[in-house]
């Protein structure tokens, strides 16, 4: 037969047991702060890709990935700010390459291989992220205005710009352009990211972006370092570039770049 004291002891023990279980449950469900950097997912993907390239070069490029949207945007940016002579000479060949997904991916692989050595010592870190749809529209608009100004705007060129813009939008409208600043050459890197199958993937990269699109000109010291470097410059060329490489009588107006 239980006495009052024994009953009281059992009730106390039961309460202690219930409290312990409740506290244990709270601990198991406790929210713990993530150790991920306080940046955007696109910026984290870009930083991770650079770290991967530093160790594994082009092995970081996913096989079978579609880079067509980035290549389309890259062509628009080039039409908007590249050499008029190069546009006349190279554009047909680049459009042929653009129609081949394997050739487009190979171009990206070659670019990654080219930058890998410089990225290892560049100390690059993401500093800004911007959505891509507005950049695609701006690139198409600036390219159109410039080609008209240069006298290169024809019906076939109108179709080219419209087609590239449509493809870039279709593939990159959920993507971002991530800017990385570096302590050393290449000084500035832009990576293009987009979501695919629940993951954010890097599908393009460049180290140049015209000021009209939010890029900035390198200072003279940085330019000279790049010209002298093995990765980007003229150190491995067989002969100096003649001063009169571009004919002074070519009928293009001088542009302020």
If the chain, 257 residues long, is cut into consecutive pieces of 10 residues, what is the mean pLDDT of each piece? Answer: 54 51 51 64 95 88 90 96 88 93 92 89 93 98 96 90 97 97 89 93 92 81 62 45 49 51
Instruction: State how far the Cα of 99 lies from the Cα of 78, in Å rounded to an integer.
Output: 17
Neighbours of 67 (CB within 10 A): 23
Q: What is the reported pLDDT for 63?
A: 84
Task: With H, G, I as helix, E, B as strand and everything else as coil, classify residue 193.
Answer: strand
The predicted structure's pLDDT at residue 57: 85
Tokens of 13: 């023990």
pLDDT at residue 238, as a whole number: 42
What phi and psi, each to the nearest 5 degrees, are found at residue 235? Answer: -60, -30
Q: What is the pLDDT of residue 250?
A: 52
Structure tokens at 75: 């062509």
Instruction: Say how far residue 165 (Cα) sits from the centre of its chain.
Output: 18
Angle (CA) 88-93-94 rounded to 5° is 90
Angstrom distance (rounded) from CA 27 to CA 38: 25
SS3 125: strand
Per-residue confidence (pLDDT) for residue 38, from 0 to 100: 77
Q: What is the largest CA-CA distance in the chain?
A: 116
Check residue 162 and give its pLDDT.
Answer: 97
Its pTM stands at 0.73
Per DSSP, the three-state class of 226 is helix
Order of strands, edge to edge, in the sheet holding 199-206?
Answer: 124-131, 176-182, 188-196, 199-206
φ/ψ of 162, rounded to 5, equals -65, -40
């Amino acid at each position: 037969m239980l006495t009052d004291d024994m009953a009281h002891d059992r009730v106390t023990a039961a309460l202690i047991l219930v409290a312990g279980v409740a506290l244990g449950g709270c601990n198991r469900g406790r929210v713990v702060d993530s150790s991920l950097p306080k940046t955007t997912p696109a910026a984290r993907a870009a930083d991770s890709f650079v770290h991967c390239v530093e160790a594994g070069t082009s092995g970081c490029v996913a096989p079978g990935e579609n880079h067509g949207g980035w290549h389309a945007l890259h062509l628009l940016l080039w039409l908007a700010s590249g050499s008029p002579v190069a546009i006349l000479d190279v554009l047909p060949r680049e459009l042929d390459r653009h129609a081949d997904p394997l050739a487009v991916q190979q171009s990206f692989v070659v670019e990654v291989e080219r930058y890998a050595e410089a990225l290892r010592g560049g100390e690059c870190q993401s500093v800004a992220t911007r959505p891509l749809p507005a950049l695609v529209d701006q690139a198409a608009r600036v390219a159109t205005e410039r080609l008209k100004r240069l006298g290169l705007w024809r019906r076939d060129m109108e179709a080219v710009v419209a087609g590239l813009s449509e493809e870039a939008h279709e593939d990159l409208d959920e993507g971002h352009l991530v800017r990385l600043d570096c302590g050393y050459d290449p000084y500035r890197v832009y990576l293009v990211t987009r979501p695919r199958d629940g993951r954010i993937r890097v599908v393009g990269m460049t180290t140049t972006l015209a000021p009209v699109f939010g890029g900035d000109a390198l200072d003279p010291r940085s330019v000279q370092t790049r010209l002298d470097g093995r990765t980007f410059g003229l150190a491995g060329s067989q002969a100096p570039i003649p001063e009169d490489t571009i004919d002074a009588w070519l009928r293009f107006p001088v542009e302020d770049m």
